A and B are shown apart, each in its own frame.
Chain A
């Protein structure tokens, strides 16, 4: 009689442990094969001089940390790419306040507000390639709208915005901000729906309005939206590859490269036959991302802990 309660045996008894493991298994499997393993593989390949053709074991030459040495001490293009990455990371964050203010502006009930919302969201829907092309025309020297506009103020940028090494990266970042702002806007619009009207009412009774209302009452409630907007913007900044490829192809003279683009150029492009060197760049990029990934994970862990309390 006592054994009857253990119906189904071991499997049934440990159901609570086994079920989540089974559900996690496919994800873990793919994650380790397609993400974790390649990360270690990149570390490994980055210690070789290898043209990416044929077998690494046969044709690769072990060089230790020489690739990194060259990267940090001799490669000016790497330095330029790294700084461009920093520019992207910092300036791309402008999408968050911009998105917030558009969202606040659109968060009202008037006739046809859905149309306006869709129009503001539109740049996020079209492909990055199209955004790149459109801004490319916008920036055209002499004939482009931008050049005409600044021409009225007597400003003439030699070579046009994306033909001049001093302005090109900023020009591309502005192009990238257009869809990214729309993305942040939609995140905040959803967030604003969840703002508690009673708290606003209470704040109003206490005499809060304008900036104080925004800063002390609305924004704290939008914290989850801000976090997500921050995450997607950082990720967007680090994968700025397609806009650069479309608008300048890394030029003029390599001044708009970022690490991901430089890695592609060195390892996989038409003239790129340095798999080891490209992997070293990828590793550096990974380490930069790791800072943010670490922060995101820590933040989410803190949030969960707070919830469990």
Chain B
């Protein structure tokens, strides 16, 4: 797998390298700290570093790959003392603390100089205070992954509206199954459900205003409506039980065994479900159904590269970011042999995979509302953490809603000052 990526990337690199970057004058050391620690992404990252190194023989590349979960708390230390040149992180508000503290380098000039042709659609997610702070390298869609075979068996079709969704769900429950599997132990999965319930009930703009702290959790009627809609599913027993004790992987067997028929998740779940034994005949995808009359907003989390503000070798970092974002490299690393996700560059080719193609079509044609990152990337860190805890509690004890909203409102009054 690694070899084939290397080959494609090297080919692409040759073209890109000759055309744009004066590669001869690059020297010194480029230090990269990456969180791409899962086997597939790791091979991609190592391939990227190797190919970039081959383009610049005088440049030494030091690549450190840190466990993805550990990196979430280690990044602050890594950036503070003896920072590397390039680091991995996430888009949107998740960048906030590092931008505010001046740990990420402002790379607006590189964007303005045209380094990242074809990335206009994702520029917004990299912008804080009107400046750009990094470059994305991959993103993926969220949506409802479901058991096509069980739907067929029960005579169901992909629902387009929430009423159809509920009608479907009732049939599924009557057949002795659960409609959705979820593992909310680490909270964020509940955030995904809220994102969609709120974006569909009140529209994308309302959701973003809530994320920016402009709307009250307790006063706003729309928020109440969202929870009321969500509660319909909870009360009818749509979700697997005891989900607060499971992480998202623990929740998968329910779907693989056919005890639950669908999973609201990011596209990375496909690989895991396939490994679990489901074939593409048993598995399909649909966009989260409509609730209110709003153009659909979608979650499409974007993963990114950033330059540390204390980077010793910004020139090499600039060349590397440009290399990563270029159309051919994007095609190669997001292909089925690589990350199996969506390329950020509009000039790249999208992999020939049922789910990636559907996701691409959905995001480019059917997300007029707008593209959000994800609950914990759009809301500021503290709001996200308190919020997701409340959402999990709501899913288990929906009667506590008033109390939960009071707490969230208090957090809001503190966080957005």
Contact = CB atoms under 8 A, between A and B. Distances in A.
Interface string B222-246: 0000000000000000000110110
Nearest to A161: B245
Q: Which of B242, B245, B389, B393 has the most CB of A within 10 A?
A: B245
Contacts of A141: 241-242, 245
Contacts of A70: 414
B245 A51 contact: no
Interface in A263-277: 265, 268-274
Given A53-B103, A251-B392, A253-B393, A273 B245 contact: no
A190 interface: no
Interface stretch (B15-23, B107-115, B343-351, B377-385): B377-385
B245 A54 contact: no
A59 interface: yes
Interface stretch (B30-38, B93-101, B166-174, B205-213): B93-101
Contacts, number: 76
Contacts of B101: 51, 53-54, 59
Nearest to B71: A270
Interface string B59-94: 000000000000011001001100000000000000
Contacts of B186: 249
Contacts of B241: 141, 159
Interface string A145-186: 000000000000001101100000000000000000000000
A303 to B, nearest CB: 43
Interface in A27-77: 51-54, 59, 70, 74, 76
B396 A273 contact: no
Contact of A53 (B76, B384, B385): B76
A283 interface: no
A53 B389 contact: no
A76 B393 CA distance: 15
A268 B73 CA distance: 7
A285 to B, nearest CB: 20
A252 interface: yes
Given A141-B245, A252-B244, A270 B72 contact: yes
A201 to B, nearest CB: 56
A222 B342 CA distance: 68
A247 B162 CA distance: 36
Contact of A269 (B73, B79, B103, B389): B73
Given A52-B76, A141-B245, A252 B396 contact: yes
Interface string B389-413: 1101100100000000001001000
Contacts of B393: 252-253
A71 to B, nearest CB: 13
B185 interface: yes
Nearest to A253: B393
B94 to A, nearest CB: 10
A54 B382 contact: no
A191 interface: no
A140 interface: yes
B80 A271 contact: no
A271 B98 contact: no
Q: Is the interface of B mostly helix, strand, loop or mixed?
A: helix
A160 B245 contact: yes
A272 B245 contact: no
A274 B76 CA distance: 13
A249 B390 CA distance: 15
Interface in A229-263: 248-249, 251-254
A36 to B, nearest CB: 23
Contacts of A53: 76, 79-80, 97-98, 100-101, 103
A163 B73 CA distance: 26
A212 B265 CA distance: 65
Contact-size category for A: 20 to 34
A299 interface: no
Nearest to B96: A273
B127 to A, nearest CB: 20
B102 interface: yes
B69 to A, nearest CB: 8
B389 A254 contact: yes
Nearest to A74: B410
Contacts of A274: 382
A4 B80 CA distance: 61
Contacts of B185: 248-249, 251
Contacts of B396: 159, 252-253
A39 to B, nearest CB: 22
A19 interface: no
Contact of B385 (A51, A248, A268, A272): A272
A142 interface: yes
A222 to B, nearest CB: 41
Contact of B242 (A76, A160, A268, A271): A160
Interface string B151-178: 0000000000000000000000000000
B244 A159 contact: yes
A267 to B, nearest CB: 10
B376 interface: yes
B34 to A, nearest CB: 17
B36 to A, nearest CB: 17
Contacts of A159: 241-242, 244-245, 396
Nearest to A136: B245
Contacts of B242: 141-142, 159-160, 163
A163 B376 CA distance: 23
Contacts of B73: 268-270
A58 to B, nearest CB: 9
Given A52-B76, A271-B385, 15 more contacts: A53-B79, A53-B101, A53-B103, A74-B410, A140-B245, A159-B244, A249-B185, A251-B392, A252-B393, A253-B390, A253-B393, A265-B385, A272-B381, A272-B385, A273-B97
User: Nearest 5 pairs between A and B by C-beta?
Assistant: A271-B385, A53-B101, A163-B245, A54-B101, A253-B393
29 contacts: A51-B100, A52-B76, A53-B97, A53-B98, A53-B100, A53-B101, A54-B80, A54-B101, A54-B102, A59-B100, A141-B241, A141-B242, A141-B245, A159-B241, A159-B396, A160-B242, A162-B245, A163-B245, A249-B186, A251-B389, A252-B244, A252-B392, A253-B244, A253-B390, A270-B385, A271-B382, A271-B384, A272-B385, A273-B381
Interface of B: 72-73, 76, 79-80, 97-98, 100-103, 185-187, 241-242, 244-245, 376, 381-382, 384-385, 389-390, 392-393, 396, 407, 410, 414
